[in-house]
Amino acid sequence: MRDKIMDEHRSERPTLQSLREEITRTDEEMAQLFVRRMEISRRIGDLKRELGLPVFDPAREEENLRAAASRVAPEWLADYRTFLQTCMDLSKACQEKQKEEES
């Protein structure tokens, strides 16, 4: 009986393989979210062109970076801000490319 309890306890601990599978699932979810974000960025780019607004809005970008503090634990904040900045940079690049293609 004791051995069975010990085996069950050991099986509750995740394995390297199970954690890697979890990372893969998370990466798949992030890929879907990334595509969604870029599609929304294109739509925003369309609206900005219609309204004659520039692609880069420093106030909005700073607002997003400030809001990051409420989204993650302090231990992850610097990394999350880097991640978010990269996402915003990719969105701006997408909008700039879109703008050039329409010119």
**CATH code of the domain containing 32:** 1.20.59.10
Using alpha carbons, select from 52, 51, 34 the residue that is nearest to residue 94.
34
pTM of the model: 0.81
> For residue range 13-66, what is the model confidence (pLDDT) as tens digits?
999 999 999 999 999 999 999 999 999 999 999 999 999 999 999 999 999 999
- Report the number of distinct structural domains present in the chain: 1
Using only C-alpha atoms, what is the Rg of the chain? Answer: 21
Angle at CA of residue 83, ends 78 and 96, nearest 5°:
135
Q: What was the pLDDT predicted at 99?
A: 87
Write the pLDDT tens digit of every residue in 89-102. Answer: 999 999 999 989 98
Q: Is 42:92 a contact under the CB 8 Å cutoff? A: no
Is there a contact between 83 and 34 (Cβ–Cβ < 8 Å)?
A: no
State the residue range of the domain holding 14. 2-102
Q: DSSP character for 33?
A: H
